[in-house]
Amino acid sequence: MEKLPVQVSFGHACTRLFVAIFILITPNFGLAEENVCTFNSSDWCVFVTKKSESRCYIASQALEMKAYRNGELLANVNRERGILLINVEKGEAGSTYATYDAGYPLRKNGHVELKVGGKVFRLYPDPKASGSLAEFAWHIEEDDKKIIDSLKAGNLVIIEAISRRGTKTKDTFSLTGLTAAIIETKKLCN
**Radius of gyration over every alpha carbon of the chain, rounded to an integer in angstroms:** 16
Residue 23 falls within a domain, yes or no? yes
77 compared with 117, residue with greater pLDDT? 117
Residue 183 falls within a domain, yes or no? yes
pLDDT bracket for residue 4 (50, 70, 90) = very low
Close Cβ partners of 110 (under 8 Å, ≥ 6 residues apart):
124, 125, 161, 162
- CATH code (residue 83): 2.60.40.1880
Residue 82 falls within a domain, yes or no? yes
Identify residue 89 by its one-letter amino acid code.
E
Mean pLDDT of the residues in the chain:
80
Residue 124 falls within a domain, yes or no? yes
Residue 1 falls within a domain, yes or no? no
Whole-prediction pTM: 0.78
Residue 21: its pLDDT value, please? 44
Instruction: Give first-to-last CA distance, the chain, whole Å.
Output: 37
Q: Which residue range forms the structural domain that includes residue 41?
A: 6-189
CA angle 18, 22, 24 (to 5 degrees): 120
Residue 10 falls within a domain, yes or no? yes
Residue 69 falls within a domain, yes or no? yes
pLDDT tens, 158-182?
999 999 989 999 999 999 999 999 9
Number of compact structural domains in the chain: 1
Residue 130: its pLDDT value, please? 85
List, in sequence order, the alpha helices (H) in the chain. Answer: 12-25, 29-32, 144-153, 178-189
Residue 101 falls within a domain, yes or no? yes
